Amino acid sequence: MQLIEPLETPDWAGRNWEQEARDTSAVMRAFSEVHESRVTYYLVYATEYLLTSEGTEIRQNRRFAAIEAGMAAVADDGVPVNHYYATYASRPADLPGADTVRKGLNVACTELMALRAAPPAQDYTGPVLFEARAAASLLAQVLGPAVNGARPPISFSPVLEQMLSGLGGKSDWLGRLGARVLPPSVTVVDDPGAKESNGASLIGRYSVDDEGVRAQKVTLVENGILKGELMSRRPGSDFDQSNGHGRAAFLNDAKPTMSNLILTSTEHLSPADLKKKFLDSCRAERRSEREQYCLVVREMDNPALSLLHQEDFSELLASLAGGAGTGDRLPLVVYRVYPETGREEMIRGSRIIGLNTRALRNIAGIGNDSFVYSYMQSQINGFAGTALGAFGSAQSGLPASVVAPSLLFDELEVRGTRGEAKRLPPDDPSEVKVPLLALVAMSQTGKDNLR
């Protein structure tokens, strides 16, 4: 395998990145209840070399750009609420302009203010509709470990075995080739060569993986039947050859990792018809129940971006560790929908329980819409290939995209807020932290941080 790309010179000059970062982050000053925030611009150029005893000679350019923001507030009952904004591109010049970023930050802050005023979630079991944006993010979490065909690490420790199971480090689909794992109408492919979907760019594209194997399009599920898995050079129980998905970031070990995952269905409904089916199911379900509402999820959380302090992130991961592998999920923007009136009410603090690959077998409805969810797959703390791998950031992650439609589930369990409220922020405005601005530019010549 030989691939020698021309050396690429980093192009920083097209825009005044530092000034743009300052201008966009200033939007959040208009929201006085946002007591802490952070905006980070990442501009990355790298040249990677790989020489092996097999005769492989590779020199390829890697570049990507990202804008990530997190923001925090506190509800009247003292419970912290968080939100985030993120956008990614294959090169700095493709990042959205300052006006678009300001609008995105304004939407996130507005939703954060609504979360701050929203009532806490209550325990709930019943129909749940994931709109396309939330569904794509959900699939990044659920399918990330499922499509990993590599043999899990050998362990002689029961404690480590339990930890891997709790994190979802072992695929539920290993050893199930030829079995039905999704509805019969559904096909899932992972295509590292795909550039766009419905006009939206896909950021997971590459031509050769980090082990020197040419990237291949892999049909993972066809008509609901498991047909393939993502493979690196590390053999697995179902396949022993790489299909060019051994990916790594920042000198981590290469692992089978998604690139551009695309889910399609031959049986689908328009968003309006899917919403009608959801409401009909809700009416039938709620007749004998105390609650007179059902739930719509419009966005999933990424705590790696929404939480601004490492100790908060670590605390959340500790609470998730036992259930990440069995299907604990963190929705961010959730609404109660009252089917008789159509009224919607935002809630906060919910957690979905038991939404794993087995739940995907019985999806009740699929939309004909689609959303491109681009994100960074975490490569730190052993998260790669686990259920926590979708909680990444541009600082230490791999770019990937998931394309998915809206999804309807007939019955899911959702738990409400638990735990004690945290202390309110200081009333003195002089003590409130102003937005933290970071501009990170990286190239093969070094790394600069401007704060």
pLDDT tens track for 82-117: 999 999 999 998 999 999 999 999 999 999 999 999
Residue 30 belongs to a domain: yes
Domain residue limits at 23: 2-116+427-450
Segments of the chain with pLDDT less than 50: 429-432, 434, 444-451
Give the model's pLDDT for residue 430: 46
Give the model's pLDDT for residue 195: 95
Q: Whose structure tokens read 């029961």?
A: 158
Residue 324 belongs to a domain: no
User: Are the C-beta atoms of residues 183 and 264 closer than 8 Å to each other?
Assistant: no
Residue 49 belongs to a domain: yes
Give the DSSP H or E segment for 290. none
Residues, the chain, total? 451
DSSP code at position 214: B
Give the model's pLDDT for residue 169: 60
Q: What is the dihedral of CA 306, 246, 228, 193, to 10 degrees?
A: 80
Residue 419 burial class via C-beta count within 10 angstroms: exposed 0-12, middle 13-18, buried 19 and up? exposed
Residue 387 belongs to a domain: no
The CA distance from 270 to 268, in Å, is 7
Residue 67 belongs to a domain: yes
3-state secondary structure at position 283: helix
Give the model's pLDDT for residue 431: 46
Alpha-helix residue ranges (DSSP H) falling in 147-187: 158-167
Partners of 448 in the beta sheet? 441
The CA distance from 399 to 75, in Å, is 33
Residue 418 belongs to a domain: no
The amino acid at 450: L
- Measured CA to CA in angstroms, residue 447 lies from 42, 64, 223, 371, 424 at distances of 11, 15, 47, 34, 37
Number of domains making up the chain: 1
The amino acid at 68: E
Give the model's pLDDT for residue 419: 57
* DSSP E strands, 191-305: 196-197, 200-201, 218-222, 225-226, 246-247, 255-256, 260-265, 294-300
Residue 187 belongs to a domain: no
The CA distance from 20 to 31, in Å, is 19
Give the model's pLDDT for residue 155: 55
Residue 98 belongs to a domain: yes
